[in-house]
Amino acid sequence: MTIHELRKSAIDNNIPIMQDDAIEYIKRRIKLFNLNKILEIGTAVGYSAVQMASVSDKVHVTTIEKDAERFMMATKNIKALEMNEQIDLIFNDALKLDIVEKYNLIVIDAAKTQNTHFFEKYKKNLLNHGFIIVDNVNFHGLVGKSQTIQNKNLRQLVSKIEDFLEYLKTQENEFYIDIIDDGDGLAVCQKI
């Protein structure tokens, strides 16, 4: 199996994975800042973890997934790609887990309504000058327009992302925050 086959199989099976330019942005940041200790929340089938680990064999990724089927698929994929040494998989709900280790990059790509909780819980696991990157903060261009959305579930989801962006403003004393349009929108937060 190759990374490209993994990407194709995730797309064919309707598994949500990070968009290409979001992944490329994160990989550039890993290279530029030498971010070699990464925690990811939301493994799905391991695609983004494999992409991040592919930057260099010095990069180590710990990734958390709470869905049993996806966790098993990710385990199988990472073994098939011979990346077991660089990627550790944790099967658990990231909100119920306690991790003491510190990282220089934390990627949040899990339940979009829980971003504030993930951020609050895991910011203690960030090394000084490290980054927290949160995916899908534009949510298909709908963020900022929640009041015009007819579908109730979608409106609530988008409104939670809007709340998260408001919450981020309260973090500006601890983080440099950049909201960028790559992929589906990334919040790039560097610990001061």
Give me the residues that bind ligand SAM (CB under 6 A), please.
Answer: 16-18, 41-42, 44, 47-48, 64-67, 70, 93-95, 109-111
Is the CB of 35 or the CB of 94 nearer to ligand SAM? 94
Is the CB of 41 or the CB of 59 nearer to ligand SAM? 41
Taking the complex as a whole, how short is the minimal distance between the CB of residue 96 and ligand SAM, in angstroms?
Answer: 8
In the chain, count H helices and then E strands: 6, 7
Token pair of 31, please? 């290279």
| Those residues with Cβ within 8 angstroms of residue 93's Cβ, 6 or more apart along the chain or in another chain | 66
Is the CB of 23 or the CB of 189 nearer to ligand SAM? 23
Angle (deg, nearest 10), helices 115-122 and 152-169: 30
Taking the complex as a whole, how short is the minimal distance between the CB of residue 162 and ligand SAM, in angstroms?
Answer: 19
Secondary structure of residue 12 in the 3-state scheme: helix
At 191, give phi and psi (nearest 5°).
-65, 130
Taking the complex as a whole, how short is the minimal distance between the CB of residue 147 and ligand SAM, in angstroms?
Answer: 25
Is the CB of 29 or the CB of 70 nearer to ligand SAM? 70
Q: Which residue is at the shortest CB distance from ligand SAM?
A: 42
Taking the complex as a whole, how short is the minimal distance between the CB of residue 164 and ligand SAM, in angstroms?
Answer: 14
Alpha-carbon distance of 153 to 125, in angstroms, equals 32
Is the CB of 16 or the CB of 177 nearer to ligand SAM? 16
CA dist 154 → 44, 58, 141, 151 (Å): 21, 40, 13, 5
| Those residues with Cβ within 8 angstroms of residue 78's Cβ, 6 or more apart along the chain or in another chain | 46, 49, 50, 84, 87, 89
Taking the complex as a whole, how short is the minimal distance between the CB of residue 41 and ligand SAM, in angstroms?
Answer: 6
Is the CB of 48 or the CB of 190 nearer to ligand SAM? 48
Taking the complex as a whole, how short is the minimal distance between the CB of residue 53 and ligand SAM, in angstroms?
Answer: 12
